[in-house]
Amino acid sequence: MEIQAAIAKIDRYSSDEEGNKVEIIERPNGGISIVMAEGKLSGSRSKGVTMKAVHAMLNLIAEGVPDGASSRVVLQRIRDEHRERAEVNISIISCDLLSKTIVITKNNPVPVLIYEGGESRFLPLEEDPESHRYDPVVYQFEFQLGQTFILITEGVQNAGVYNENKIDLLTALGSIYDDDSDEVSVQDVADNLLKQAIGHDSGRPRDDMTVVVLKVSPATTKDIRREYVSFPIKKEIL
C-alpha cells in the first residue's frame, strides 16, 4: 500500500500576487500532510497572511501537534496579530501512519470530493461553516485501497459563476474516470480538473485555483519515495 498525491494550481488571471499556497511535509510519526490555505486581510486577499499561516502550520505539524490543534492555534494567532481583520481558509489532508487513517481538517465550506468504487461524491461537511471559521472540523477515514480525496479552493468551486456556466464538480470528476479509472494517475486527476475549471472561466481564472489529490493505492515501488515539481516562470520575470 502507498499514498500517491498530486497538486495542480494556477494564479488568478493577470495577477502578480498569489493568493493560494499549498505545501507538503512529512509527519514526524510517519506519513505526509498537505496544507492548503488562502488568507485575507480586511476582506482582500493577502499573500503575507497566507504564507504566515502555512509556515506556522508546517512548524506545528513537524513538532507533532495534531492537525486540528495546529490549525486552531494558527487561526487564533492570525486573528490576534491582525486584530480580527484577517482570516484564513485552511484545508489539510494527512496520511497519518500512527492512526492508520486519512485525516482532513477544514475551517471552510469549500467542498471535498471523494472518488471510490467508480462513484464520485462530496464529503458531507458540517452544516454551520461559519461556526468553524476559527474552530476547524476534523474528518477521519481508515485506509481503503483505491479511495481518492480531492481538495479544491474557492476558485475551482466557483469556476464559471460569472459566465453563468458554473462547473458541476461531480460531473467534471466523473468525466475524468470515464474511460479507464485504473489508468488515471493522481496527477492526471489534478491537471484535468483544473483544466476544466479554467475552461469554465473562459481560460481566464477569476480567482486562484488549486487542486490537491490524494489516493490510497497498492504499492508500486519498494521503499522509494518520489516527488515531482513543475514551477513555471513568467516571461516578465526573465
DSSP character string of 54-70: HHHHHHHHHTT--HHHH
CB atoms under 10 Å from CB of 88, counted, come to: 26
Closest CA to 174 of 102, 111, 93, 113: 113
Residue, of 125 and 174, whose pLDDT is higher? 174
pTM across the whole model: 0.89
- Sign of torsion over alpha carbons 63, 68, 73, 79: positive
- Distance from C-alpha of 162 to C-alpha of 90, rounded to nearest angstrom: 25
Are the CB atoms for 116 and 147 separated by under 8 Å? yes
Map out the domains of the chain with their CATH numbers.
2-226 (3.60.40.10)
Q: What is the pLDDT of residue 124?
A: 84
- Distance from C-alpha of 81 to C-alpha of 130, rounded to nearest angstrom: 21
- Distance from C-alpha of 96 to C-alpha of 94, rounded to nearest angstrom: 6
- Distance from C-alpha of 122 to C-alpha of 68, rounded to nearest angstrom: 21
Q: What is the pLDDT of residues 143-185, one digit of tens each?
A: 888 899 999 999 999 999 998 899 999 999 999 987 655 578 8
Q: Which residues contact 141 (CB under 8 A, 6 or more apart)?
A: 101, 102, 103, 104, 147
For 29, the grid coordinates are 510519526
- Distance from C-alpha of 137 to C-alpha of 212, rounded to nearest angstrom: 19
Residue, of 76 and 46, whose pLDDT is higher? 76
Lowest model confidence (mean pLDDT) among 30-39, 90-99, 223-232: 223-232
Q: What is the pLDDT of residue 135?
A: 83
pLDDT at 211 over 80: yes
Are the CB atoms for 95 and 105 separated by under 8 Å? no
Sort residue 43 into left (φ over 0), alpha (ψ -120 to 50) or beta.
left
